Amino acid sequence: QVQLQESGPGVVRPSETLSLTCTVSGDSIRSFYWSWIRQPPGKGLEWIGYISYSGSTNYNPSLKSRVTISVDTSTNQFSLKMTSVTAADTAVYYCARDLGASGYFDYRGQGTLVTVSS
Amino acid sequence: QSVLTQPPSASGTPGQRVTISCSGSSSNIGSHYVHWYQQLPGTAPKLLIYMNNQRPSGVPDRFSGSRSGTSASLAISGLRSEDEADYYCAAWDDSLTGHVVFGGGTKLTVL
């Protein structure tokens, strides 16, 4: 059974960098694609980006200038960094496995709420 | 404004059949698979339909998906109270460098 678990600070100050990590168990991170998705309170889902099994990345054009996704194969984790955050970045952040870089998320974490506030 | 367009709400009574539409364009639904997610209140979204019309193990056959041209639909037959949730469609979009796009979501109410 594949499991994903997000971890990171629950509060980030405006203009600072949001950093989250997703720990994957039950599958090697050297396969498939690994995505970050977010959902502002009371709003819909937004794809942030993915990192592939080969290490290539692809980001939402609207966030690309502020986002970096990286992978650590030794710990089977992948991470999200988002710079210059504002209140608009307050959301539940999910990590997920994408089977084909197509929005086909078969496994995801339970989500972690990140609030941007001073 | 979402790239994929869904009605914000839908409703039905127990036992009814309800459909939720997802409208896109040639750069997304018209050339890529559509996937559907169910999000029960307070929970993470769950994969409901993948590759237009395939159900993951454990999803009842009351749920079905279809795609035609640049639109897709999710149908729920034999509506039950536990189906009350938000539903999202998703697909790959070829514009710019390519990225995943979601619909804005449809809140289904079981009356």
Return the HEC string of B51-90: CCCECCCCCCCCEEEEEECCEEEEEECCCCHHHCEEEEEE
Average of per-residue pLDDT across A47-74? 94
Chain B residues touching A94 at Cβ < 8 A: 44-45
Band (pLDDT 50/70/90 cuts) for residue A100 is: confident
SS3 A88: helix
| Of B75, B43, B72, nearest in space to B60 by CA | B75
Give the distance from CA B95 to its chain's centroid: 21
Per-residue tokens: A69: 């996704």
Mutate to test the interface with A, among B22, B29, B53, B99 (most CBs of A within 10 A): B99
Q: Assess whether pLDDT exceeds 90 at residue A48.
A: yes
Per residue in B35-47, pLDDT (tens digit) is 999 999 999 999 9
Identify the pLDDT of residue B2. Answer: 87
Q: Can you list the residues of chain B whose pLDDT is less than 50?
A: none
- What is the CA angle B53-B41-A3, rounded to 5? 65
Q: Would the CB atoms of B99 and A110 count as touching at under 8 Å?
A: no
Region A22-37: what's the mean pLDDT? 93
Is the CB of B50 inside 8 Å of chain A's CB atoms? yes
Q: Where does residue A94 rank: exposed (0-12), middle (13-18), buried (19+ CB within 10 A)?
A: buried
CA distance, residue B43 to nearest chain A CA (Å): 7
Residue A110, pLDDT score? 96
Q: What angle do CA A12, A15, A19 make, to 5 degrees?
A: 45
pLDDT of A54 above 90? no
- Determine the residue of chain B that is closest to A35 in CA distance: B100
| Chain A nearest C-alpha distance from B21 (Å) | 16
Instruction: Look at residue A53 and tell me whether its pLDDT is greater than 90.
Output: no
Q: Say if residue A50's pLDDT is above 90.
A: yes
pLDDT value for A30:
87
Beta-carbon contacts of residue A54 (< 8 Å; ≥ 6 apart): none
Chain B residue nearest residue A112, CA to CA: B44
Q: Is B15 exposed, middle or buried (0-12, 13-18, 19+ CB in 10 A)?
A: exposed
Chain B residue numbers with beta carbons less than 8 Å from the beta carbon of A106 are 47, 50, 56
Place of tokens 């459909």: B19
Residue A66 C-alpha, separation from nearest chain B C-alpha, in angstroms:
16
CA distance B103 to B4: 4
Of A8, A10, A117, A19, nearest to A67 by C-alpha is: A19
Q: How far does B80 lie from chain A, in Å, by closest CA?
A: 23
B7 close to A (CB below 8 A): no
B72, B26 Cβ separation under 8 angstroms: no
When pLDDT is averaged across residues A61-73 and rounded to a whole number, the result is 95
Residue A101 has pLDDT above 90, yes or no: no
Q: Is residue A38 very low, low, confident or very high in pLDDT (cuts 50, 70, 90)?
A: very high
Would strands B99-102 and B85-93 be described as parallel, antiparallel, or unpaired?
A: antiparallel
Say which of A45, A94, A105 has its CB closest to residue B47.
Answer: A105
pLDDT at B73: 98
Q: What value does the mean pLDDT take over residues A25-34?
A: 91
pLDDT value at residue B1: 81
